[in-house]
């Protein structure tokens, strides 16, 4: 009788089950309420304090928004914690205001200083 050829025993390896963790950072919109309120409270005094500098910028209607947008960008980029969130909210607000000026067609009035915008006329 012929000898049977021995075959290597195949071992079965089980993979460890991958587990997925949710990010600890929530994207809850209510976390932006306080930074938005703080930005809303400090926007007008900041704009008034920066008015002599912004009057020299030849952007007319959007000089205020551009100046505060640059400050908000710096706060969002370099700040930590609440300052960073206030900067992020400020970027959103100033971008929306620039978009409002572009859509309304007032962007071409570069020679004049901006009047109170629609948000403050109500």
Which has more confidence, 56 or 23?
56
Distance CA 82, CA 113 (A): 32
Contact 81, 34 (CB under 8 A): no
Contact 82, 114 (CB under 8 A): no
Distance CA 112, CA 51 (A): 13
The residue to which tokens 């195949």 are assigned: 10
Mean pLDDT across 35-43: 92
User: Which residues lie closer than 8 Å to 79 by C-beta, 6 or more apart?
Assistant: 86, 87
Which has more confidence, 106 or 120?
106
Chain segment 61-96, per-residue pLDDT in tens = 788 888 899 999 999 999 999 999 999 999 999 999
Of 43, 44, 45, 67, which Cα lies nearest the Cα of 54? 67
Judge whether residue 1 has pLDDT over 70. Answer: no
- Let me know the angle formed at the C-alpha of 66 by 48 and 96, rounded to the nearest 5 degrees: 100
pTM: 0.63
Mean pLDDT for the chain? 79
Q: Decide: residue 103, CB within 10 A, 0-12 exposed, 13-18 middle, 19+ buried.
A: exposed
Delimit the domains of the chain by residue range. Answer: 29-120
């Amino acid at each position: 009788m012929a000898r049977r050829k021995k075959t290597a025993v195949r071992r079965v390896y089980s993979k460890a089950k991958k587990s997925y963790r949710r990010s600890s950072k929530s994207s809850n919109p209510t976390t932006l309420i306080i930074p938005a309120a703080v930005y809303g409270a400090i926007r007008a005094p900041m704009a008034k304090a920066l008015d002599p500098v912004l009057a020299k910028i030849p952007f007319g209607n959007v000089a205020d928004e551009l100046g505060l947008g640059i400050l908000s960008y710096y706060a969002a980029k370099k700040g930590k914690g609440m300052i960073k969130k206030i900067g992020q909210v400020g970027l959103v607000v100033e971008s929306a205001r620039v978009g409002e000026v572009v859509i309304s067609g007032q962007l071409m009035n570069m020679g004049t200083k901006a009047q109170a915008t629609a948000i403050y006329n109500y």
